[in-house]
Amino acid sequence: MRQLKADILAVGAVDWDVRLFDRLIPLPDGTSYNSYLIKGSEKTALLDTVDPAKTGVLIGNLSKAGAGKLDYVIAHHAEQDHSGSLPDILKLYPDARVVTNPKCKAMLIDILDLQEDKFITVEDGETLSLGDKTLQFIYLPWVHWPETMATYLKEDKILFSCDFLGAHLATSNLFVDDEATVYESAKRYYAEIMMPFRRQINNNLEKLESLEIEIIAPSHGPVYNRPEFIIDAYKDWASDAVKNEVVVPYVSMHGSTAKMVSFFVDALIERGIMVRQFELSTVDVGKLAIALVDAATIVIGSPTVLIGPHPCAAYAAFLANALRPKTKFASIIGSFGWGGKMVEQLTAMLGNLKVGILEPVLAKGEPKEDDFGKLDKLADEILAKHKELGIVK
């Protein structure tokens, strides 16, 4: 248990050891499931619960915090890493009411089988008084689920932002003490779950502009006492601006594609373009997702396997397509032994991306002089396209 301010306590759980979220997302630095207790002069509210695996930690912290009664549990989001302990908390505090929006209420009933009469629903902008403290609810849809909302504690100017603006990062300090580390974790989180909803993220950022915010307390990672740090980062990531960068995820079986990638990456660097290269059989997909946030161009490298792309390259294409980065151009380089439809199949997998496809380069077997010439030409074309975008300094 840690204290944000008088009568505002962090009672959630730090999960130092978790390394995979949703059996999909690597968590190299763990995470936390933040839950906050606000003791008003008349009523007490708990903002979110924790992942079911950490229910015991939450209950222990509530006991340490002297939370003998709980009037409200604010449910910002129905996903189980924040709602999963709700059934146990409601058993422990049978008079508590779950405060949420109608969409989240319906989801919580579906997911946790809660009873209808346990809920109070609130509209966007509605307030709830705890006596000397006032909670205002702000809908922030599509910070990867449609029902998410935040709470603004008016008197203390604290925004409890749920997943929005959060970071998968386990720390013993309650507040951010190392912005560079938090920046990387927050960008990873944005890239992995919020980037596909960039338009709604921008709408949500606009919505927060009218609030005077001194502290942002998200549901994952440390609390921001310099809110502009994370708000400005989000504005940059969610903007339309791309950078003079090329992401090169690749996999190679017998070395031909690797030789092409090595030559091509050098060609880009010689042209002053920043490159981020990822070997796909060993990649941390979070790092790849981070790289996709800003890059103007993605070039996938793959050999031909069983007529199509290598499955690792197909996974990278599928992931990029799902994350929908603001990337402007894409291409494919690689090799084949005797034939196949690798380029057609990979291109078809990028249908969600609004990208111009630049002429792919395929070598038959070992890449030869003519193939390296084509890679030089592709690097020239990428430079020319980046110049057209006005992003080459």
Give whichever of 49 and 327 is closer to ligand FEO, judged by the CB atom: 49
Query: CB of residue 193 vs ligand FEO: minimum separation in angstroms?
Result: 7
Choose the binding region for ligand FEO from 66-74, 78-86, 327-335, 340-348 (rule: CB under 6 A).
Answer: 78-86
Identified binder of ligand FEO from the candidate list 29, 79, 147, 192, rule CB under 6 A:
79
Identified binder of ligand FEO from the candidate list 77, 105, 276, 310, rule CB under 6 A:
77
Residues 164 and 148: beta-carbon distance below 8 Å:
yes
By CB under 6 A, residue 51 contacts ligand FEO: no
- Residue 172's nearest CA partner among 389, 10, 339 is 10
Q: Which residues in 178-199 are b (16+ Cβ under 10 Å) and which e? A: eeebbebbbbbbbbbbbbbbbe
Identified binder of ligand FEO from the candidate list 39, 76, 82, 386, rule CB under 6 A:
82
Give whichever of 196 and 309 is closer to ligand FEO, judged by the CB atom: 196
Query: CB of residue 79 vs ligand FEO: minimum separation in angstroms?
Result: 4
By CB under 6 A, residue 15 contacts ligand FEO: no
Query: CB of residue 157 vs ligand FEO: minimum separation in angstroms?
Result: 23
**Residues of this chain, 141-180, that bind ligand FEO according to CB under 6 A:** 144-145, 163
Residue nearest to ligand FEO (CB): 79
By CB under 6 A, residue 220 contacts ligand FEO: yes
Packing angle between helix 285-294 and helix 311-323, nearest 10 degrees?
Answer: 50
The count of C-alpha atoms lying within 13 angstroms of the C-alpha of 155, restricted to the half-sphere facing its C-beta, is: 16
- Residue 312's nearest CA partner among 282, 292, 289, 341 is 282
Cα–Cα distances (Å) from 326 to 242, 298, 345, in that order, read 7, 11, 21
Which residues make Cβ contacts (< 8 Å) with residue 63, sequence separation at least 6? none
Token pair, residue 50, equals 């924790």
Strand 36-39, strand 44-47: pairing: antiparallel
Give whichever of 144 and 374 is closer to ligand FEO, judged by the CB atom: 144
Token pair, residue 86, equals 């709700």
Identified binder of ligand FEO from the candidate list 35, 219, 335, 347, rule CB under 6 A:
219
Rounded to whole angstroms, the Cα distance separating 194 from 201 reads 7
By CB under 6 A, residue 294 contacts ligand FEO: no
Say how many residues make up the chain: 393
Query: CB of residue 212 vs ligand FEO: minimum separation in angstroms?
Result: 26
Residues 282 and 315: beta-carbon distance below 8 Å:
no
By CB under 6 A, residue 48 contacts ligand FEO: no
Give whichever of 29 and 81 is closer to ligand FEO, judged by the CB atom: 81
The count of C-alpha atoms lying within 13 angstroms of the C-alpha of 120, restricted to the half-sphere facing its C-beta, is: 15
Query: CB of residue 78 vs ligand FEO: minimum separation in angstroms?
Result: 9
Query: What residues make contact with ligand FEO under the rule CB under 6 A?
Result: 77, 79, 81-82, 144-145, 163, 219-220
